[in-house]
Amino acid sequence: MSDLLDNAIYSIQLGIEDYQSNDDRRPISALRNFYAGVLLLGKECLLNAAPDAEPMEILASKFVPALDGDGNLVMTPKGQTTIDLNELRERFGTFQLKWPDGNIKDLQRLRNEFEHFHSKAPKETIRQAIAACFPLVEGFFAILQKSPKAALGSAWDVMLAERAFFKKQKADCDATLQVLPWWDSVEDSSVFSCTECSSSLLFQTDASNSEPTFMTGGCKACGSDFTAEETVEMIVTSVFAVDEFQRVKDGGEQTIYDCPECANPTYVEAGIYVGCYFCQYVIEGECARCSADLTINTQSVNNPSLCDYCDHVTSRDD
């Protein structure tokens, strides 16, 4: 067994131990250890795929191209910095390894935040991180052709149990939101993020209510209550705002707008859904003058029956 694999297993086990402890300082330590362990496990998959190479030739973050004495191009690792999670994922691609399913964004976000981590529900947040990383840990062990149970021992049993518990909680929360008119446009509710604790366990108190404006929302992890506006905005932001900055920078379309009707930042124009998640206002129909389809981008704010261009042209005629 390699040193790296030993360290990976030890870090994951330590993280789970920290998680189970009732010491207040341990949640941060749990996240740090668990994150480090998962990352090391992924790195071990790369080493395992090229057993004859030097570890730094595989794991270095930066390389310098140089010519050797015979004029051949060689890539030499620069510095001691090894790849981070994003680079690990890229390198899985260039090593033709399949990246396992599973959402590591949760863990990564928590990892980035944890120096100032003051979640209202640290234990619940870490449980979610463990549940989210479960498929990744399982997938890495499959690539290594090792049994996670044999390697991790009781830490694996804890991960199994926490994942099952989290899945049940999440399913119960999602079930309360399923009667809402836009539920089907939420492709992946695991991205929900409570503004107080970043848990995805958002729910509404009345599971029979199908009217977004009447919602009373809550978070199962930290116990916070939210108004209808807050709940809808949280859901819209977590589902559609992810990557919005990058998408728009890359020339893509913005998806979230202030609603012309209720003024909440909950008007969505995405392939899968058009309309306000809060008041359900939808811009539809054609411009009365040029017959172009009206959208949030083209509808005139001065005259909702005209497009911007026609409103501009006709108001100039006046």
* Interface with Zn ion (CB under 5 A): 194, 196-197, 199, 219, 221-222, 259, 261-262, 276, 278-279, 281, 287, 289-290, 292, 307, 310
Which CB sits closer to Zn ion, 221 or 268? 221
User: In angstroms, what is the minimal distance from the CB of 193 to Zn ion?
Assistant: 9
CA pair distance 161, 145, nearest whole angstrom: 23
User: In angstroms, what is the minimal distance from the CB of 289 to Zn ion?
Assistant: 5
Which CB sits closer to Zn ion, 33 or 231? 231
Which CB sits closer to Zn ion, 153 or 223? 223
User: In angstroms, what is the minimal distance from the CB of 254 to Zn ion?
Assistant: 16
CA pair distance 178, 113, nearest whole angstrom: 31
User: In angstroms, what is the minimal distance from the CB of 223 to Zn ion?
Assistant: 7
Q: How many CB atoms lie within 10 A of CB 291?
A: 11
User: In angstroms, what is the minimal distance from the CB of 256 to Zn ion?
Assistant: 12
Radius of gyration for the chain, computed over Cα atoms and rounded to the nearest angstrom: 25
Structure tokens at 302: 């001065």
CA pair distance 215, 18, nearest whole angstrom: 37
Which CB sits closer to Zn ion, 99 or 281? 281
Structure tokens at 231: 């709940």
User: In angstroms, what is the minimal distance from the CB of 285 to Zn ion?
Assistant: 11
CA pair distance 262, 269, nearest whole angstrom: 16
Residue written as token pair 């999440």:
170
Buried b (16+ CB within 10 A) or exposed e, 29-56: bbbbbbbbbbbbbbbbbbbbbeeeeebe
Which CB sits closer to Zn ion, 33 or 238? 238
Which CB sits closer to Zn ion, 11 or 128? 128
